[in-house]
Each structure stands twice: as C-alpha cells, then as structure tokens.
C-alpha cells in the first residue's frame, strides 16, 4: 500500500500543475483588482454560481470527512449520512432566508454581523474566539489529519515533509485571494469527486470479487445490503436496557429520530449559515447567484455519502468476513486506509490527488477566513483605522502566513493531542460546545427584533455552560433517566447523553433565557434588521432546484428508513 509507481506520481503531478496553473491564470487575469480588500477577501461579484457551490463543497470536505466519516460508516452505517443529507435542507433554509439578510445589510464577516445587529463588544469577543477556534482547532486538525492520511497512503515520505508540502500548496492558493480559491476549488472538487468515486467503485468491486459474485460494483453494493442490513438503516432504534455496547455506542453518535428534533439542525444551520469559513464564498455575490450556488452545493451534498461513507461500510463487511485482518478489534479510523490498500497503480495517484484536493481546499478556505476576520474586524477597526486598501491586502497575506506557521508549530509533534482524540472528535468537542449559544445569537438576532446585545452575551455564556453541563455532569447530578434525556453507558465506566440531544436542549434553554433577557429591553431594538416586501421571494429556477433536492432527499429516506 505504501508504495507509489511512476504512473501515480505522474497523475499527481498533472493534478498539481493543473491547479497551480489555473490559479496563476485567474490571479494574473485579475491582478489589478487584488489591491481591493473586497476582491481579495470576497472576490466580490466575480464568482459564478457553480464556482460558489463547488468552493463550498471543496472547503467542507476534507481529511476528517474521508477518514472520519468512512470510519463512522464502518461503525454506524448509513445513518451517519444524516450529516450530509440534512445539510442539503439547511442549505435551502440559508439560501432562502439567511442570504437576503446578509446581502441586504452588506455583511462581509460574521463579527460585522454581530456589530451591526448588537454592538462592538459582542463582535470583538466573537472575532477573537473565532480566530482562536479556526487557528488552533480547525487549521491544525485539517493539517494533522491530512498529513496522516497521505502519509499512510504513500508511505516512505517523511510525515513532516508531507505536512510542509500541504501547507505550502495551500499558501500558494490562499495568497491569490478568494477569487483564486473559488475558481481553483472547481478543479479541486472535480478531482475530489472523481477520485472519491473511483475509490468507492473499486471498494464495491473488491467486495463483489471476494465473495464470488460477478465482479461488478452493483453486485458488491447489493451484497453489502444483504450481509449487513443493520448498516443500511437511517433511523436507529433506541437501545433496550440489555442492548450490547456496540449498539449503544452507535446510538450515542446517531440517536435515532430524536436527533431530528434536536442538535442535527443546530449543527448544520450554525455551520453553513453562521460560519465565516463557509458563508464567505457567497457574501460577495448578488442574491440570485449566491442562492443558486448554495443550492448547487446542497445537491452535491446528497452524493457525498457515496464518496466518504460507503467505503467504510465496504471495509466493515470485508473485515467482518475475514478479508481485512489489519482492522483487528474493529478499528474504525483505519477503514478508509484499508480500502485504499486495494488500489492498483494509477488509482493510488488519483486517490492521493483527491485527498490532497480536499485537504488543500479546506486549508486555503480556512486560512482566508482567518485573514479576513483579523484584517477587517480587528486590524482595520482597532489597530489602524486609516489603513489603505493595498496595505490591508498585505496584512491579510501576512496573516495567512502567520496562521499557517502557528498551525505547523502546534501540529508538528501533535502538541494539542489531535491524534489521541481523533480529528473528527477533536473538532466536534471544541466547536460543539459553543454552537448552541452562537446559533441562538444569530437566529434571534435575524428574526426577532427585540433581541438585545445583553441577551447575545448571556446567550454565548449560557450556551457554553449548558453544553458542558449536559455533556459532562447531567447524568451524575440528575440521574440517567429524566423527562429531558436518557443517559447510556459509554463503555468507559460512565454514562453519556447523546451529543446531539445535549446540543438540542442547550440551544432550547439558551434561546429561552435570551428571550427573557430581551423582554427587559425595548419592544423593537434600534439595531434590528428591517425586512422589505418581497425580500425572501425566490425565482422559478430556485424553486425548481429546491423541489429537486427535496424529492431526491425524500426518496433516499424512504429507501433507507
């Protein structure tokens, strides 16, 4: 597995030259405009709907999806696809209702939203928080997981050389600004999809061949469904008192129908609608272009489980029947790498390119968001208010370098312990605790005119406190079975409430407290957003895209319910 042939290196070299050359051409074509901050940070008015949609997906899918979601496919099965499929509905909500508010009020950054709607104190607190989160959690985990994944595939090469290579490749793209990121992401997502589909196709044909079928991918897929039907259930049943630990463990990750009334929506609406890293792609476009791009991303999300989840189920079936002994003990984190071990020469190079595309696109997008927040929300406002457009662009570029160097330093010897916790868990742990408060602050700020700045501050603190309470202390303090939740043995000597249930209740009580605090203020906050007639009206083309998405999603849930 760890050896590449000449054809693999050639395929990867073609990919690298193609992305770099296209990025340089885009940069050179618009070189004069890059002195403008809105062009550098937002590519204002120049990204097409297909570039926005592709960039959203390329930035979203990274090593934690390839490795982490394949691992969850190995362990849980198709139910983990909710993280991809519910996102499609969340993107519809964001396209129809969030984007008109952002674009009408000319919002370029999430801290700017908080300043416009609440006050500068709230904006500054969250800007600093997001910078720390993006640099020390997201950037480091993407870099670490990406390096581990590629090192496991190519072998031989130094882990640290691979890490430096990924960082430099991302820097080349990021320093060209959002326009270069957006358009090169079109190639990145194409490579990601082609390489990912090729890996899935091979995994299914391997299953077909190993079990004496006709060698086709379709026969392999049918065998997976026949051999492990429990891995093809979207809605997991609530475990009985005497259920085996593996069944309980799956439910803790995906708590059946209950999660659709709880944290699943907060995860997606907060990630896709209140996240600089994601929304930045659409904030420089006109409303129709932004909506079409976001809905296009939603359609692409429907196919992502085929790429990032199905190989994990294939690995599970092969392992269960004795064909992957290296996964002894059922190690889910090694599932995707084990499948890649079956790749022939040529396809290995394509898979390295696909993984690199996912990692580099995510690194570039994250670095650009860090640069945008620091430059526009901290440097320009608090350090040098009279800075010229050209100097702001250079500050943005220096920030990109600084962020990547810091991430390399903390990732070099895994100072943060990402490897010990697992990249997917590491990200969820440090972002999930704050999500309920942040989302409550955004959703009430958008759609309830009475929400106050004091309520926003209380909401962030309350959301974090309640998340810690429900996740770490509630079972011991209030018991394992209450009107709000059921806690289950976690196999480590303790009891846990499913994470998504914790998130749902944290959001509910946070929003309730914010409402109570806001009632002490004026009936209409002077900073409340003003809605205009027809503001949320959608075009016929937008309606068609929404209907197609909902029909496909309904068919998937009917099939795998």
Q: Is residue 97 part of a domain?
A: yes
> pLDDT tens digits, residue range 147-175?
877 776 776 667 788 888 888 888 777 76
Beta carbons of 58 and 297 less than 8 angstroms apart: no
Q: How many CB atoms lie within 10 A of CB 38?
A: 17
The reported pLDDT for the residue numbered 95 is: 92
The reported pLDDT for the residue numbered 429 is: 65
Asked if pLDDT for residue 409 goes beyond 70, the answer is yes
The reported pLDDT for the residue numbered 1 is: 44
For 472, how many CA atoms within 13 A lie in the half-sphere containing its CB?
Answer: 8
Q: How many CB atoms lie within 10 A of CB 298?
A: 30
Report the phi/psi class of residue 155: left, alpha or beta, with left for phi > 0 and alpha for psi in -120 to 50.
Answer: left
Q: Is residue 126 part of a domain?
A: no
The reported pLDDT for the residue numbered 548 is: 95
Alpha carbon distance 548, 540 (integer Å): 12
Per-residue pLDDT band for 531 (boundaries 50, 70, 90) equals confident
Closest CA to 351 of 337, 331, 334, 335: 337
Q: Is residue 181 part of a domain?
A: yes
> pLDDT tens digits, residue range 328-370?
665 676 777 778 778 787 777 777 787 777 787 778 878 888 8
Alpha carbon distance 30, 180 (integer Å): 10
Sequence-ordered alpha helix ranges (H) in 274-422: 276-279, 287-308, 310-320, 335-340, 347-372, 389-412, 418-421
Asked if pLDDT for residue 291 goes beyond 90, the answer is yes
Q: How far is CA 200 from CA 10, 194, 219, 305, 343, in A?
A: 22, 10, 13, 10, 11
Percent of the chain with pLDDT over 90: 20
> pLDDT tens digits, residue range 85-121?
999 999 999 999 999 998 888 887 788 888 889 988 8
Q: Is residue 545 part of a domain?
A: no
The reported pLDDT for the residue numbered 177 is: 63
Asked if pLDDT for residue 308 goes beyond 60, the answer is yes
Per-residue pLDDT band for 435 (boundaries 50, 70, 90) equals confident
The reported pLDDT for the residue numbered 333 is: 66
The reported pLDDT for the residue numbered 423 is: 57
| CATH code assigned at 73 | 1.20.1730.10
Closest CA to 189 of 24, 56, 349, 279: 56
Mean pLDDT of the chain: 82
Q: Tell me which of 301-315, 390-404, 419-433, 436-450 is least confident.
A: 419-433
> pLDDT tens digits, residue range 179-227?
666 666 677 777 778 878 888 998 899 999 888 888 888 999 999 999 9
Characterize 225-242 residue by residue with b for buried, 16 or more Cβ atoms within 10 angstroms of its Cβ, and e for exposed. eebbeebebbbbeebeee
Dihedral through CA 370, CA 371, CA 375, CA 376, nearest 10?
-70
The reported pLDDT for the residue numbered 421 is: 52
The reported pLDDT for the residue numbered 26 is: 67
Using the structure block, give the residue that is written with the tokens 């403008």: 36
Token output for 70: 């394949």
Q: How far is CA 366 from CA 46, 173, 423, in A?
A: 20, 12, 16
Q: Tell me which of 181-185, 391-395, 430-434 is least confident.
A: 181-185
Beta carbons of 134 and 461 less than 8 angstroms apart: no
pTM of the model: 0.83
Closest CA to 269 of 91, 60, 79: 91
The reported pLDDT for the residue numbered 275 is: 79
Using the structure block, give the residue that is written with the tokens 């916790």: 421
> pLDDT tens digits, residue range 59-81?
777 766 777 788 888 888 898 88
Token output for 56: 């959203």
Percent of the chain with pLDDT over 70: 87
Q: Which of 380-394, 531-545, 546-560 has the highest mean pLDDT?
A: 546-560
Asked if pLDDT for residue 44 goes beyond 60, the answer is no
Q: Is residue 65 part of a domain?
A: yes
Q: Is residue 295 part of a domain?
A: yes
Per-residue pLDDT band for 418 (boundaries 50, 70, 90) equals low
- The domain total for the chain is 1
Q: Tell me which of 240-254, 285-299, 406-420 is least confident.
A: 406-420
Q: Tell me which of 37-41, 235-239, 499-503 is least confident.
A: 37-41
Domain that holds residue 78: 6-20+43-108+131-235+284-413
Kindly state the helix (H) or strand (E) to which residue 495 belongs, with its residue range.
Answer: strand 495-496
Residue range 467-474: average pLDDT? Answer: 89
| Residues whose CB falls within 8 Å of the CB of residue 327, separated by 6 or more in sequence, listed in order | 315, 319, 334, 335, 338
Alpha carbon distance 185, 45 (integer Å): 17
Alpha carbon distance 226, 320 (integer Å): 13
Token output for 391: 């100097």
> What is the Cα 7 distance to its own chain's centre?
32
Alpha carbon distance 500, 258 (integer Å): 9
Q: Is residue 446 part of a domain?
A: no
DSSP character string of 313-324: HHHHHHHHTTS-
Alpha carbon distance 261, 361 (integer Å): 32
Alpha carbon distance 558, 97 (integer Å): 27
Alpha carbon distance 54, 408 (integer Å): 27
Q: Is residue 73 part of a domain?
A: yes
Residue range 128-147: average pLDDT? Answer: 83
Q: Tell me which of 27-36, 162-171, 266-275 is least confident.
A: 27-36
Dihedral through CA 146, CA 152, CA 156, CA 160, nearest 10?
30
């Amino acid at each position: 597995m760890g050896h590449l042939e000449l054809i693999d290196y050639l395929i990867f070299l073609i990919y690298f030259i193609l992305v770099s050359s296209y990025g340089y051409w885009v940069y050179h074509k618009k070189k004069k405009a890059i002195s403008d901050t809105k062009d550098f940070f937002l590519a204002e008015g120049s990204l097409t709907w297909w570039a926005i949609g592709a960039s959203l997906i390329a930035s979203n899918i990274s090593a934690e999806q390839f490795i982490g979601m394949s691992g969850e496919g190995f362990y849980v099965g198709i139910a983990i696809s909710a993280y991809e499929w519910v996102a499609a509905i969340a993107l519809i909500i964001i396209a129809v209702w969030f984007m008109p508010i952002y674009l009408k009020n000319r919002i370029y950054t999430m801290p700017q939203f908080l300043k416009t709607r609440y006050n500068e104190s709230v904006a500054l607190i969250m800007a600093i928080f997001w910078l720390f989160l993006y640099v020390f959690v997201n950037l480091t985990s993407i870099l670490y997981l990406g390096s581990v994944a590629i090192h496991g595939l190519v072998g031989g090469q130094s882990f640290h050389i691979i890490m430096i290579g990924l960082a430099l490749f991302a820097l080349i793209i990021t320093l060209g600004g959002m326009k270069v990121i957006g358009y090169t992401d079109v190639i990145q997502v194409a490579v990601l999809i082609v390489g990912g589909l090729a890996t899935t196709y091979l995994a299914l044909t391997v299953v077909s061949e190993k079990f004496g079928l006709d060698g086709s991918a379709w026969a392999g897929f049918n065998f997976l469904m026949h051999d492990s039907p429990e891995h093809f259930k979207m809605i997991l049943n609530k475990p009985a008192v005497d259920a085996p630990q593996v069944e309980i463990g799956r439910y803790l990750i995906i708590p059946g129908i209950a999660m659709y009334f709880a944290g699943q929506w907060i995860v997606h609406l907060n990630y896709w609608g209140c996240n600089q890293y994601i929304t930045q792609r659409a904030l420089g476009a006109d409303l129709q272009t932004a909506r079409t791009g976001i809905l296009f991303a939603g359609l692409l999300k429907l196919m992502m489980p085929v790429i990032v989840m199905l190989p994990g189920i294939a690995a599970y079936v092969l392992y269960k029947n004795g064909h992957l002994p290296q996964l002894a003990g059922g190690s889910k984190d090694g599932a995707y790498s084990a499948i890649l071990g079956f790749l022939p020469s040529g396809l290995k190079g394509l898979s390295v390119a696909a993984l690199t595309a996912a990692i580099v696109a995510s690194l570039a997008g994250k670095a650009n968001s860090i640069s945008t927040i620091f430059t526009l929300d901290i440097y320009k406002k608090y350090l040098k208010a009279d800075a010229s457009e050209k100097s702001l662009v250079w500050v943005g570029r220096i920030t990109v370098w600084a962020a990547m160097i810091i991430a390399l330093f903390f990732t070099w010897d895994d100072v943060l312990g990402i490897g010990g916790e697992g990249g997917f868990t590491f990200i969820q742990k440090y972002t999930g605790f704050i999500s309920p408060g942040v989302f409550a602050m955004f959703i009430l700020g958008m759609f309830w005119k009475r929400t106050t700045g004091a309520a926003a501050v209380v909401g962030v603190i309350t959301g974090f406190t309640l998340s810690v309470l429900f996740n770490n202390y509630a079972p011991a303090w209030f018991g394992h079975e209450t009107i709000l939740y059921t806690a289950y043995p976690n196999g480590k000597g303790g009891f846990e409430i499913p994470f998504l249930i914790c998130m749902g209740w944290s959001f509910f009580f946070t929003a309730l407290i914010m409402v109570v605090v806001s009632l002490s203020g004026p009936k209409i906050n002077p900073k409340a957003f003003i809605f205009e007639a027809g503001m949320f009206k959608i075009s016929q083309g937008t309606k068609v895209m929404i209907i197609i998405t909902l029909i496909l999603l309904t068919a998937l849930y009917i099939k795998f319910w």
